[in-house]
Amino acid sequence: MPNILLTRIDNRLLHGQVATQWTNVLGANLILVANDEVSTNKMRQGLMDMAAPNGVATRYFSIQKTIDVIGKAADRQLIFIVCETPQDVLRLVEGGVPIKKVNIGNMHMAEGKRQVAKVIAVDDSDVAAFKKLTELGVELEIRRVPSEGTEDIEKLFS
């Protein structure tokens, strides 16, 4: 069983805040960005690598590759998974990735979305994915950074 410390939804994926604060608090030594587009975009990977703390490895896998290889992770790998959307996390969980807790950190406002928390905007598809994740026993939390308190997750379902 892979040592998945936390899975985070952040539409910015890997950036300074995620790389430093969350990785340090979790004690992760591997940041796995599970994203179909980034898995083939070397330029974006290079930019994200610059944000990764020294001594922390990065991997950029498609959603399907993550499902296929996560079970082969070594015990010494302390994994922090970062996804762009709740739909991507749901695909991972439904694909057998043993995700127990999801931190919702940033989902930008866009056309068709409604603001439900300070940095969270959702549409009906997002709400459906969050509902399915909770039905599958995944714990959800809204928290931008580790030093802040969590927000009420019921906001996600409005």
Residue from 12, 15, 65, 132 carrying the catalytic annotation: 15
H helices of 12-123, in order, are: 16-17, 23-26, 42-51, 63-69, 86-94
Give the count of alpha carbons within 13 A of 24, CB side only.
11
Residue 103, classed as helix, strand or coil, is strand
Q: Would residue 15 show up in a list of annotated catalytic residues for this protein?
A: yes
Q: Which residues contact 54 (CB under 8 A, 6 or more apart)?
A: none
Catalytic residues: 15
